[in-house]
């Protein structure tokens, strides 16, 4: 009887020991898997980036945070094969991709993305646009990097630039907050998502934009209000020389716009206000290429600008109507010119958003 009890105790001890051994093996395997997981994910992401036709890219490092269902991409660069090394199409210092736990309360499994110091560089097209990656290729790449649909997007200290060979048109220190992109939370009306953007434009203008949108449509609907205040026009001289063949000596611009798109149809306006404009500097301009002809041309422009300046506000302004569809956006040149005359001789435009479109 004592021997049976001893054998039974030994069997239990062996079973417990085997159990602990199996548990230790499992824990060790998980630790090894966790140790090598970032490298596995990094290789996967790099393969996806380099699999996008016409592009190449890489990430420097990836951290995994299993406890919150997230991974962090560091040093992401994605460039067109034709991009110069200093201006890749996309570069992100850090991207935090995770589950949006708050959305689970609404019964939806979606993600959130936080981008820090993201830069987007668009270079004026010189190659055949037919060689660009298709929408399907982009969608497949994004889905591979973020398996869940992004419902919340936060971007801090970003940059957007358009390089046309003459001027770097850019927005710096760009902060963006986009919420309810997948329509997780119920919202009144047809535009459930809210998007807010701020930044500093070329010429140190203060940019602000607010949008309500429905981004889950194939062609998103949106209502947009945008303002740009205090941008120095001389920062655009490279662009003006290339496209209008003259530059300016002094001036700033404020800009306001409302734009609405429904089912691919645009409607809205843009209101520019030019302040303290000076076009001609005879001593300086006479020495430039073109000499006297250049001075005469700028003098004519300056005289016209002075003639259409409102005597009270000392500003040149107009209202540019915008309408059409996504493939054929139109502005009315005649109405724009009439707007310049109206501001100068009839009644100055109110500086700000009119609230008539949205």
Question: What is the model's pLDDT at position 55?
Answer: 83
| Inter-residue contact 117 to 124 (CB < 8 Å) | no
| Residue 125: inside a domain | yes
**Residues 294 and 181 grouped into a single domain:** no
Domain hosting residue 248, numbered range: 233-358
| Residue 318: inside a domain | yes
**Residues 155 and 51 grouped into a single domain:** yes
SS (H, E, C) 258-294: EEEEECCEEEEEEEEEEEEEECCCHHHHCCCCCHHHH
Predicted confidence band at 153 (pLDDT cuts at 50, 70, 90)?
very high
Q: How far apart are CA 347 and CA 274, in angstroms?
A: 16
**Residues 181 and 107 grouped into a single domain:** yes
| Residue 193: inside a domain | no
**Residues 108 and 171 grouped into a single domain:** yes
Question: What is the model's pLDDT at position 289?
Answer: 63
- C-alpha angle 10-11-17 in degrees, rounded to nearest 5: 85
Which of 160, 186, 212 is the last residue in one of the domains?
186
Bridge-partner residues for 214, per DSSP? 221
- For the ranges 55-69, 78-92, 130-144, 274-288, which has the lowest average pLDDT? 130-144
Q: Angle 135-145/2-50 helices, nearest 10 degrees?
A: 150
| Residue 205: inside a domain | no
Q: How far is CA 190 from CA 212, 214, 259, in A?
A: 9, 7, 16
- Tokens standing for residue 40: 């596995």
Which of 119, 152, 186 is the last residue in one of the domains?
186
Q: What is the pTM of this model?
A: 0.81
Q: How far apart are CA 81 and CA 92, in angstroms?
A: 18
| Residue 42: inside a domain | yes
Which of 152, 171, 186 is the last residue in one of the domains?
186
**Domain count of the chain?**
2
- For the ranges 13-27, 268-282, 288-302, which has the lowest average pLDDT? 13-27
**Residues 124 and 15 grouped into a single domain:** yes
Q: How far apart are CA 44 and CA 301, in angstroms?
A: 58
The DSSP element (H or E) to which 24 belongs, if any, is helix 2-50
| pLDDT digits 0-9 by tens, 47-88 | 888 888 888 888 898 888 777 778 888 999 988 888 888 888
Other C-beta atoms lying within 10 Å of the C-beta of residue 84:
11
Q: Is the pLDDT of residue 126 over 60?
A: no
| Residue 215: inside a domain | no
| pLDDT digits 0-9 by tens, 320-342 | 999 988 877 778 787 887 888 88
**Residues 252 and 107 grouped into a single domain:** no
Predicted confidence band at 129 (pLDDT cuts at 50, 70, 90)?
very low
**Residues 256 and 138 grouped into a single domain:** no
| Residue 212: inside a domain | no
| pLDDT digits 0-9 by tens, 182-235 | 887 777 778 999 999 999 999 999 999 999 999 888 888 999 999 999 999 999
**Residues 174 and 272 grouped into a single domain:** no
| Residue 191: inside a domain | no
| Inter-residue contact 226 to 199 (CB < 8 Å) | no
**Residues 155 and 278 grouped into a single domain:** no
- C-alpha angle 245-246-252 in degrees, rounded to nearest 5: 130
């Amino acid at each position: 009887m004592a021997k049976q009890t001893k054998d039974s105790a030994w069997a239990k001890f062996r079973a417990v020991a085997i159990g602990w051994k199996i548990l230790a093996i499992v824990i060790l395997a998980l630790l090894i898997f966790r140790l090598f997981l970032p490298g596995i994910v990094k290789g996967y992401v790099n393969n996806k980036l380099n699999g996008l036709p016409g592009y190449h890219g890489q990430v420097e490092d990836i951290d995994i945070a299993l406890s919150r269902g997230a991974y962090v991409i560091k040093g992401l660069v994605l460039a067109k094969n034709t991009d110069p090394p200093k201006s890749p199409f996309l570069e992100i210092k850090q991207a935090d991709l995770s589950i949006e736990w708050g959305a689970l309360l609404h019964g939806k499994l979606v993600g959130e993305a936080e981008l820090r110091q993201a830069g987007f560089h668009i270079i004026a097209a010189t190659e055949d646009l037919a060689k660009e990656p298709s929408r399907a290729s982009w969608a497949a790449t994004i889905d591979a990097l973020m398996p869940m649909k992004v419902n919340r997007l936060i971007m801090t200290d970003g940059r957007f630039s358009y390089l046309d060979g003459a001027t770097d048109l850019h927005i710096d220190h760009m902060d963006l907050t986009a919420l309810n992109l997948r329509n997780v939370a119920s919202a009144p009306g047809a535009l459930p998502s809210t998007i807010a953007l701020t930044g500093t434009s070329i010429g140190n203008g203060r940019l602000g934009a607010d949008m309500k949108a429905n981004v889950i449509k194939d062609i998103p609907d949106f209502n947009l209000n945008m303002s740009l205040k205090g941008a120095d026009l001389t920062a655009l001289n490279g662009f003006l020389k290339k496209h209008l063949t003259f530059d300016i000596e002094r001036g700033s611009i404020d800009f306001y716009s409302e734009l609405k798109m429904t089912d691919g149809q645009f409607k809205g306006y843009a209101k520019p206000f030019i302040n303290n404009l000076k076009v001609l500097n005879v001593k300086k301009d006479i020495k430039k290429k073109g000499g006297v002809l250049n001075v005469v041309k700028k003098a004519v422009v300056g005289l016209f600008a002075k003639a259409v300046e409102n005597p009270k506000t000392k500003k040149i302004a107009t209202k540019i109507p915008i309408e059409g569809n996504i493939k054929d956006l139109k502005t009315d040149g005649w109405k724009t010119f009439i707007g310049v005359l109206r501001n100068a001789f009839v009644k100055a435009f109110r500086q700000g958003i009119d609230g008539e479109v949205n």
